[in-house]
Amino acid sequence: MHFRAEAIVVAVRPHGEHGAVVRALTAEHGLQPGYVRGGRSRAMRPVLQPASVVVGDWRARTEEQLAGLTVEPVHSRAPLFREPLPAAALEWACALTAAVLPDGQPYPRLHSALEGLLAAIEAAPAARGWAVALVRYELLLLAELGFGLDLEHCAATGRNDDLAYVSPRSGIAVSRVGAEGYESRLLPLPRFLTQGGAAEWEDILAGLRLTGHFLERDLLTGRAAEVLPARMRLIDRLMRAVA
């Protein structure tokens, strides 16, 4: 097994005294693990930082064997990890991707969306410039893995107007009329997810609560304790930024 591809580093785990097992997302080959000899060295740390882009060369004798991986830096986002809020966003986006995607299955839309999200975090002067993209990326992850939400019509009336809530059980939108009397049992649906346009912080946080519910229920079963602390750190820092 041998291939060479540009990839986004999403997880790095120490292995042995000096090496590291790296998981990186490629457009054509999906999420790919590989062992990088000397991956924990001072020279390699900024290259193998989650969210950085590399060109990787994977080689293994069999498909079942962990490939040996050599990398060449393309674009490092290591400097962003000195800033608490962007660091938390990069950490969560990469940790989530590494946790839920199966190895070796291509998801070109997710690869493109993740690169767009990471670039937005890097470029935007304030979190409001990338927080909407984060909500949309989480929704895309759910959809690509078979747990997409239906935000096109009301579960109660079948109509597609005045959608304001989502059923936490079915993941289907509910209109204000259809939700009457049951509002407290439903998740608010922020307008930017159905109508586009700018989003206020209240809507962004509602969007994150919405996606967080379904991520934890459908994609992070058995892994919530391992992954969700990164999301909690991000939400906490976003709340501080809003205050």
* 167-222: pLDDT as tens digits: 999 999 999 999 999 999 999 999 999 988 879 999 999 999 999 999 999 999 88
Q: What percent of the chain is predicted at pLDDT more than 70?
A: 100
In this prediction, residue 46 carries a pLDDT of 87
Contact 73, 79 (CB under 8 A): no
* 130-146: pLDDT as tens digits: 999 999 999 999 999 99
In this prediction, residue 16 carries a pLDDT of 83
Contact 26, 71 (CB under 8 A): no
Q: 72, exposed or middle or buried, with CB in 10 Å at 0-12, 13-18, 19+?
A: exposed
Quote the Cα angle for 207-209-126, to 5°.
55
Q: Return the CA Rg of the chain.
A: 19
The CATH number of 1-76 is 2.40.50.140
Whether residue 20 is predicted with pLDDT greater than 90 in this model: the reply is: yes
Averaged pLDDT, 40-68:
93
Beta partners for residue 150, in sequence order: 172
pLDDT band for position 150 (cuts 50, 70, 90):
very high
Domain residue ranges in the chain? 1-76, 79-151+189-243
* Residue 213: alpha-carbon gap to chain centroid: 14
Options 3.30.1380, 1.20.1440, 1.25.40, 3.10.129; CATH of 79-151+189-243: 1.20.1440
Crossing angle (nearest 10°) for helices 108-123 and 84-100: 170
